[in-house]
Every structure is written in structure tokens, then in C-alpha cells.
């Protein structure tokens, strides 16, 4: 039963180490990692002991122990790394880096879970693991000198010194005598193991009795198989199909028809707009008769009345006592319309004064130029058609040239293939000769192997001695540096405590007329700051008053502009009504 229990303890630690190896804090949070680990443990975990594989099912208590240990190792990683890094730097220099999480788990159990587990359960867990590793690590960690000096100082950098001493250091020192007994048990186990080891006999190497190989005959080269003649290319490959010729004929006929239709449309494009003289006289007579039959237009005088309203946008123009309400946009739009008409009339009168005449000559010249452009387009189309035919013939000739070049290349490749086969046969013969020479060299090398092994063994022993001496010197220097650091820290702590013991002045007198004394160019006292803020408020009020006056002035100017536009519109309407009355008379 104890053997099975010990195996289960060792398997629990193995599962925890495997999960810690999978954890990556950069890509995964601790909560997600613990949830995935819980799901994995609920299904099953595989254990192997002495190469016998079986399924180990975890109950609720064991699963809770595994998850709590995982969470604690991740949460207190910085605290545990202090001890593990120091162990690898001092006693564990020859330990594997892959076993780092093993020492992290044991350090966590000894620091945080030793009170809960008890010494008996903790010793079972330790004995289920490798004895050499556990003896070395526990002897290092439960050293009273280390716990009271540098381990306590390093942990105090991360947490409060009083909390570290009461929560972790004192319990470890209290358990240290009992754990020392466990360390002695492990040492006795190691000493018994070393005495029972039997000395094995050293094997003496013997030379190989190799048979001399018989000379091999040169193999007869295989005949090169002749290639079968391929069927000739049919002549229809290089002849264009009949359908292509028929499509080209249809395409040329359609193109000619389209060009004729384009020419007719361009020459007869204004025929529909031409009016015969007889038809024009008839239409003029009909329009005069229709105008005589209709009653004459009675023009009425438009009276412009503007209501006396303070806002010009709300004023209205009346016609026959019917009010028409105009807003600012309508007034400005109608004023712009009358202004544009007046400018067009002035431009027409100016053109007549300059001597503008009938545009028939310009239209005739325009017709001639369009005819010339059409002829040039037709010539360009014909040129492109001929150029396409030439490019097609050039493509056919290029295809024929490519076929001839491919035939020449095929002949050259056949000749090169024959030369390569000849070179390959010669290379095979050369390789066989080299292999014979290599076998002879290997036989000679076996004879000199003993001397080379002895030289290599002496060289390795010399290197090991040099490395051991260097390591001792480095360890001595590291201890001296550590002692100097501890002395400096102790002196610094004494200085800080002396500074803290001095009395502190709690009352501080503030002078509002003095600056902060930070050495900046823009420094000012609180009194100067208040004066500048008062000046800024006055300047802001003056700017607001000025802006308010400008807004009132702009509003009055806009009202005056709308009044001027209304007067201008009334004048134009009166003139238009007078002109219509004169035309009717």
C-alpha cells in the first residue's frame, strides 16, 4: 500500500511539473490555464511506472491538491525564483535546466503547504522523487544561515519585511530541525546505495577479423534503348481552318456597310432642320392670322407697395391688392436675375457696336472642317486594317521560325544526352575505385584507434582539472562579493534608520509672493498668477463686447442691402409693365 501511495505522490508532482511547463504567461492568463488544467484532470491522466502504462484516476482531494499547487506556483513565481535561481548558481550548477519546475514545486510545498500537509506527508512526497536531487535542494533551502540572511533580505524586497519574517521565515526555522532529520535519512539512503554498487569488469577491445574482399568485375554497361519514332505532324496543323476565312469575309463586308452608313449619316445630318421657303411663308401667314383673331393684351400698371415693417425679410409686394410674401433668399435671387439680364443686354449692344455680323460663314467653315476630319478618320481606319493584316502575316512567319528552331534544339539535346550517358559511365567507374581506396583507409584507421583513445582520455582529464580550479576560484570571488554587498546593505540600513529617527517639522509657512524655485523660466508666484488671470478676464470681456458690436453692425448692413434690393425689384417690375403696355399699343 505504501508503494502505491508513494507512486501516486510522485505522479501528482509529475502532473504539476508537466502543466507548469505548458504555461506561458504572455499568451495565456492564469484563470484560463487553471480551467484547462481542471478539464484535463477530470478526464484522466496517464502514469507510467517501470515502463508499465496504466490509467490513474484522481479523486476530488487529489485534484484540489494539484490545482492549488499549480495556482500557488504561478502566483508566487517571483518569490520562488529567488531560491531556485540561487540554488542553480551555487549547489545546482550541474543540474538540468529542464528540472527547474521540480525544485519550484518542492520550494512551494515547503514554504506554503508544510503546515497543512504535515512532515509525514511531505516526507512521502520527497522520498517518491529522485533522492540525490531532493537531498541537495533541501540541504540548500533549509540552511539556517541562508534563511536568516540573504533569503530573508531578497523576499523583503518583494513583500513587507515583518510579514515575511512572521509568515514564512519563522515557520521554516521552526520546521528546520525536523526537516534536517529527513535530510539525514536521504543521506543514509545515498550512502547505502553507493556501497552496494558492484565494480563491473572493463571490456577489452579486440581488433575486427575482417575478410579481404575479392576484386569485383567491371559491370558491362547496359545498352541505351532506342526511342520509337513518333508519328509525323499532320499538315492541317499549319493550315488555317475554312471557318476562319469565312468569318473574315463576313467581317470585311459588315465593316464596309458600317463605313457607308457612317458616311451617309455625316453628310445628311442637318437635312431634317432645313425649311423650304414656301412652307416658311405659309407658317408665317398662319401665325399672323391667329394673333389677329385673339384679343389684345391689356397691360396693367404694377404698383409697388412695401409695408412699413422693421424687418425687411417680412415685407411683401402687392399686385391688385393681393399680397406676395418674399423672404431674404427670394429677394436676392430675383435681384440677381434682373442683374444678369441687364448685363446680357449690354453685352449684345456692345457686340453690335463692334460690328458683329451673320454667322453663316462660320457655319460653312465648320462644315468643311468636319468633312476633312471624317476623311482623316476613314484613312486612319483603313491604315489600321492594313496594319492588322501585316501583323497577322508576320505572326505566321514567326510561328514557322519557332518550329524550325525547336527542331534544331531537339537535335542538340539528343547529342548532349548521348555525351552525358558516356560521362555517367566513366563517373561510376571512378566512384568504384574511390570506394576501394576508402575501405583500405578504414582498415588502417582501426589499427590506430587505441592510441587516439588514450590521447583523448588524457586531454579530457586535463580539461576537467582546469575547469574545477576555475570554478573554485569563481565561487570564492562570488562569496567575497556577497559579503561586501551584505556589509554595504547593513550600513545603508543603519543610515536610513538614523535619518528616520530625526524630528520632522510638520508646520510649513507659505509665502504667496514667492515662486516654487524649480528653476524654470515661466515660474511665477500665486499673487502674480492671480493678477494675470484678472487681466486675461478683462481682455476676454473687451473682445466679447467688440464681437457683439460687430454682429449688430453686420445685421444692420444686411437689412439695408435687402431694402435696396426691394427698391430695385420694384423699379424693374414697373419698367417691365410699362414696356408690355407699349407693345400692346
pLDDT at residue 270, as a whole number? 54
Give Cα 560 distance to the centre of its chain.
63
Region 533-555 average pLDDT: 94
Instruction: Give residue 269's pLDDT.
Output: 60
Residue 536, φ and ψ in degrees, nearest 5: -65, -40
CA distance 470 to 477: 11
Give the span between the Cα atoms of 548 and 542, in whole angstroms.
10
C-beta separation of 88 from 72 below 8 A? no
pLDDT mean over 179-208: 75
Give the list of residues 6+ apart from residue 566 with CB closer than 8 angstroms, or none. Answer: 306, 312, 315, 317, 326, 331
Q: N- to C-terminal Cα distance for the chain? A: 136
pLDDT band at 543 (very low <50, low <70, confident <90, very high): very high
Asked if 146 and 74 count as a contact pair (C-beta separation under 8 A), the reply is no
pLDDT given at position 573: 87
Dist CA 69 CA 12 (whole Å): 10
Give the percent of the chain with pLDDT over 70. Answer: 81
Q: Would you state the pLDDT for residue 549?
A: 94
pLDDT tens, residue by residue, 10-47: 677 888 888 887 877 777 777 777 777 777 766 444 34
Q: Tens of pLDDT along 218-240? A: 887 888 887 788 888 888 888 88
CB-CB contact of 117 with 1 (8 Å): no
- Residue 193's pLDDT is 59
Domain ranges of the chain: 1-109
**Digit-coded pLDDT (tens) for 306-362:** 333 334 434 444 344 445 567 888 888 888 888 888 888 888 788 777 776 555 677
The mean pLDDT value for 149-160 works out to 87
What angle separates helix 150-158 from helix 77-89, to the nearest 10 degrees? 150
Whether the pLDDT of residue 288 is over 70: the answer is no
280 vs 559, which has greater pLDDT?
559
Question: Which 8-state DSSP code applies to residue 241?
Answer: -
Mean pLDDT of all residues in 88-103 = 85
Non-local CB neighbours of 173 within 8 Å, separated by 6+ positions: 144, 147, 148
Number of residues written out for the chain: 585
Per-residue confidence (pLDDT) for residue 310, from 0 to 100: 37
Nearest CA among 51, 150, 151 for reference residue 107 = 151
pLDDT the model gives residue 364: 82
In angstroms, the CA 99 to CA 91 distance is: 14
Q: How far apart are CA 133 and CA 99, in angstroms?
A: 10
The mean predicted confidence, pLDDT, of the chain is 78
Which has the closest alpha carbon to 574: 303, 297, 315? Answer: 303
Residue 394 CB-half CA count within 13 A: 6
pLDDT number for residue 325: 63
The larger pLDDT score, comparing residue 252 to residue 315, is at 252
**pLDDT of the residue at 8:** 58
Of 36 and 387, the structure prediction assigns the larger pLDDT to: 387
CA distance 103 to 84: 7
Contact 103, 137 (CB under 8 A): yes
Tell me, what's the pLDDT at 547?
94
pLDDT tops 50 at residue 50: no
Amino acid at each position: 500500500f505504501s508503494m502505491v501511495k508513494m507512486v501516486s505522490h510522485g505522479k501528482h508532482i509529475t502532473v504539476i511539473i508537466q502543466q507548469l511547463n505548458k504555461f506561458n504567461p504572455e499568451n495565456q492568463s492564469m484563470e484560463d490555464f487553471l480551467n484547462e488544467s481542471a478539464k484535463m484532470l477530470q478526464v484522466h491522466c496517464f502514469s507510467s511506472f517501470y515502463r508499465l502504462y496504466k490509467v490513474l484516476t484522481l479523486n476530488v482531494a487529489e485534484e484540489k491538491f494539484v490545482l492549488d499547487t499549480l495556482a500557488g506556483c504561478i502566483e508566487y513565481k517571483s518569490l520562488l525564483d529567488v531560491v531556485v535561481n540561487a540554488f542553480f548558481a551555487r549547489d545546482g550548477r550541474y543540474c538540468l535546466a529542464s528540472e527547474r519546475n521540480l525544485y519550484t514545486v518542492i520550494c512551494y510545498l515547503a514554504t506554503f503547504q508544510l503546515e497543512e500537509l504535515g512532515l509525514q506527508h511531505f516526507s512521502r512526497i520527497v522520498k517518491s522523487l529522485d533522492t540525490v536531487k531532493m537531498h541537495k535542494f533541501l540541504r540548500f533551502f533549509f540552511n539556517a544561515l541562508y534563511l536568516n540572511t540573504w533569503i530573508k533580505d531578497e523576499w523583503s524586497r518583494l513583500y513587507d519585511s515583518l510579514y515575511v519574517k512572521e509568515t514564512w521565515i519563522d515557520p521554516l526555522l521552526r520546521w528546520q530541525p525536523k526537516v534536517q532529520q529527513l535530510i539525514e535519512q536521504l543521506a543514509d539512503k545515498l550512502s547505502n546505495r553507493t556501497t552496494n554498487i558492484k565494480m563491473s569488469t572493463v571490456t577489452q577491445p579486440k581488433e575486427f577479423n575482417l575478410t579481404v574482399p575479392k576484386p569485383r568485375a567491371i559491370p558491362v554497361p547496359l545498352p541505351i534503348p532506342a526511342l520509337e519514332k513518333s508519328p509525323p505532324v499532320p499538315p492541317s496543323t499549319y493550315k488555317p481552318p475554312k471557318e476562319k476565312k469565312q468569318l473574315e469575309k463576313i467581317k470585311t463586308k459588315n465593316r464596309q456597310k458600317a463605313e457607308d452608313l457612317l458616311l451617309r449619316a455625316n453628310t445628311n445630318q442637318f437635312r431634317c432642320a432645313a425649311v423650304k421657303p414656301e412652307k416658311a411663308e405659309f407658317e408665317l401667314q398662319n401665325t399672323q392670322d391667329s394673333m389677329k383673331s385673339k384679343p389684345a393684351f391689356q397691360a396693367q400698371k404694377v404698383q409697388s407697395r412695401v409695408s412699413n415693417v422693421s424687418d425687411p425679410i417680412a415685407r411683401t409686394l402687392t399686385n391688385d391688392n393681393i399680397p406676395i410674401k418674399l423672404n431674404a433668399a427670394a429677394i436676392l435671387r430675383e435681384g440677381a436675375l434682373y442683374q444678369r439680364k441687364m448685363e446680357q443686354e449690354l453685352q449684345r449692344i456692345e457686340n453690335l457696336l463692334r460690328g458683329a455680323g451673320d454667322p453663316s460663314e462660320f457655319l460653312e467653315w465648320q462644315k468643311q472642317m468636319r468633312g476633312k476630319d471624317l476623311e482623316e478618320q476613314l484613312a486612319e481606319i483603313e491604315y489600321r486594317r492594313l496594319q492588322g493584316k501585316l501583323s497577322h502575316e508576320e505572326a505566321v512567319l514567326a510561328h514557322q521560325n519557332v518550329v524550325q528552331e525547336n527542331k534544331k534544339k531537339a537535335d542538340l539535346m539528343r547529342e548532349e544526352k548521348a555525351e552525358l550517358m558516356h560521362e555517367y559511365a566513366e563517373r561510376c567507374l571512378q566512384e568504384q575505385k574511390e570506394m576501394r581506396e576508402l575501405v583500405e583507409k578504414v582498415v588502417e584507421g582501426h589499427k590506430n584507434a587505441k592510441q587516439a583513445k588514450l590521447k583523448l582520455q588524457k586531454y579530457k582529464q586535463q580539461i576537467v582539472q582546469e575547469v574545477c580550479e576555475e570554478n573554485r576560484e569563481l565561487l570564492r570571488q562570488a562569496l567575497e562579493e556577497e559579503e561586501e554587498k551584505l556589509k554595504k546593505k547593513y550600513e545603508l540600513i543603519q543610515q536610513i534608520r538614523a535619518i528616520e529617527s530625526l524630528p520632522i517639522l510638520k508646520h510649513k509657512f507659505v509665502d504667496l509672493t514667492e515662486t516654487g524655485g524649480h528653476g524654470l523660466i515661466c515660474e511665477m508666484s500665486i499673487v502674480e498668477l492671480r493678477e494675470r488671470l484678472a487681466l486675461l478676464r478683462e481682455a476676454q470681456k473687451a473682445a466679447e463686447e467688440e464681437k457683439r458690436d460687430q454682429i449688430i453692425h453686420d445685421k444692420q448692413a444686411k437689412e439695408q442691402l435687402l431694402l435696396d434690393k426691394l427698391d430695385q425689384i420694384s423699379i424693374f417690375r414697373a419698367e417691365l409693365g410699362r414696356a408690355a403696355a407699349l407693345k400692346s399699343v
